[in-house]
Structure formats: C-alpha cells, structure tokens
Amino acid sequence: MTAKIIDGKALAETLRAELAEKAAALKATQGITPCLAVILVGEDPASAVYVKNKVAACEKAGFRSIKETYPANVEPMVVLGKIAALNADPSVHGILVQLPLPKQFDAEAVLEAISPEKDVDGFHVENVGALMQGNPRFVPCTPYGVMQMLKTENVPLKGAEAVIVGRSNIVGKPMAMLLLAESCTVTICHSRTKDLAFHTRRADILVAAVGQPKMITGDMIKPGATVIDVGINRTPEGKLCGDVDFESAKEVAGLITPVPGGVGPMTITMLLANTLEAAERTLG
C-alpha cells in the first residue's frame, strides 16, 4: 500500500486566497487592514527565514506587516518597550516575537508582555489556559494547521488513538489539547518514553514533532494510519527532511504529509487566519 499524500502547499494556497478576500472585504467595508507586527532578535538564520516568509505572506494576502529587528545583544527592556508601544497601537492587530530568544531574555516574560488580544501565536499564558479549558482565543499556528489538514481530509477523530511525539509548548502540548477537544484518546510521547514504537504502532493519528531527522520509520506505524510530520530538519547533505522517514512510512501509512510541502505552509496560513480574526474582533 502507498499512502495518499496530504498536499499542505495546495491547501495553504486555497486558504490564503480566502483570507486575502476576507481581508479585502474588511478593508472595503470597515476601513481596517489586518496588521501583523513581527519582532526578530538576533541572527539565527532559520528564524530570519521564518520571519521573512511571514512578512511576505502578509504582503501577498493584502495584510499590513511591521518588522522590527534587534541585534542579539539588545537589552530586553528595549524589546519590552517596543511590545508596549505595539500593544497600544490600535492599527496593529497581531504581535509575534520569533522564538528562540537570546540567553539574556526571559522568554516567558516577553510572551506575557504581549496583549492577549494581539497574541496571534497563542503563547500567552492566558491564551494557553483558554485552550486548555476548551475555549480557545488564539490557537497556536502549527497545531491549528494540522487540525485543518485532518478536517479537510475527513480523518475520523472521535475515539481515534492519537499519539504525539514531542511535548513542546509550541506544538506537542497544544496539539494534544486540540485532539482531545475532538474526542481523540491522546498519548504524548517524549525523549524519556520507554518504548516509543509500542505507542506509535497503536496510533490511528501519529503526529511527529521532535526535531529528530527521520526518527519515525515505517515499522513504527500502524497500517493505514494518518501520519503528520511537523519536523523541519536538514540531512547531512543539506536537504530538508522531517521527523518521519518518508520513504518507509509511505508504504505503511494511509495518509501522510511530506516535508517540505506538508505542515510548513499551513503554519503561516494559520498565522494570517489568527491576525484576520484579531482584526475582526476589534469591531466587537
């Protein structure tokens, strides 16, 4: 059996076209242009690429964007001051601080400084709590994108065994909350899990978000399972690859996301969706 490939790039393009239309309508009817402010601190090349892509996606969808960049040795107070100014600016609807931050920063304090109403990443503790209670305000973009993919593909969720490999605040934990809200039976595995394959082989839905190249191999997958690969890694030859060994996994899975062209394009799409939502909410 060869799995059906979930085309995240195509789905992202469809959704971005819809978001662009909605943004144009908001501008035409209310005079509001959705605006995202992105803060980048330091010279991490991967972060620089992500930020560039976020800004470009805004421009393409007719959103306004503000990009603030700071050197790695900037005083945290400077960044906190900028966040306060963006919080107070009614023309700014979403604020995002690209992670990771340099060592002198207390990342949690920075995330808590963003107004929860503008926290389009969904990382503010108030928004994390709302998600946990099943009443989300902003859903973190990567897990939000994964849920869109599962729903578009009509993957049965109720009662499904969902196994997530990875327990990060950005992906693993919110992913678990979203799948739980859809009545999946959720297992979170991590670096200390004793028999990872025991768990992954039980999964109807397997989400890999560990940052380990090709760690999930075909023999760890239940035949017919839906396999979602959140990993973005580089092989020693410099090629992009996921956390799933695509070649062996696609022979066993029923549905699978590729890397690149799977979850990646969906993350920025959901960032646009959250920014539009934040702009619409200002109307009350």
Q: Which residues 6+ apart lie within 8 Å of 240 measured at CB?
A: 232, 233, 234, 259, 260
Which residue among 96, 128, 146, 249 contacts ligand GUN (CB under 6 A)? 96
Q: Is 119 in the site for ligand GUN (CB under 6 A)?
A: no
Q: Is 98 in the site for ligand GUN (CB under 6 A)?
A: yes
DSSP annotation of 166 reads: -
Q: Is 141 in the site for ligand GUN (CB under 6 A)?
A: yes
State the CB neighbour count (10 A cutoff) for residue 56: 12
Q: In terms of CB distance, is 97 or 179 closer to ligand GUN?
A: 97
Q: In terms of CB distance, is 16 or 222 closer to ligand GUN?
A: 16
Which residue among 128, 170, 203, 230 contacts ligand GUN (CB under 6 A)? 170
Encoded tokens for 11: 């789905």
* Cα 12 from Cα 5, distance rounded (Å): 14
Can you tell me whether residue 45 is helix, strand or coil?
A: helix
State the CB neighbour count (10 A cutoff) for residue 137: 19
Encoded tokens for 156: 């049965």
Q: Is 147 in the site for ligand GUN (CB under 6 A)?
A: no
Which residue among 68, 117, 119, 121 contacts ligand GUN (CB under 6 A)? 121
Distance in Å, CB of 273 to ligand GUN, minimum: 13
Q: Is 182 in the site for ligand GUN (CB under 6 A)?
A: no
Asked if 229 and 242 count as a contact pair (C-beta separation under 8 A), the reply is: yes
Q: In terms of CB distance, is 123 or 246 closer to ligand GUN?
A: 123
Active site residues: 54, 98, 121
Which residue among 74, 80, 99, 180 contacts ligand GUN (CB under 6 A)? 99
Q: What is the CA radius of gyration of the chain?
A: 19
Q: In terms of CB distance, is 5 or 107 closer to ligand GUN?
A: 107
Encoded tokens for 273: 């969706």
Can you tell me whether residue 123 is helix, strand or coil?
A: coil
Q: Is 114 in the site for ligand GUN (CB under 6 A)?
A: no
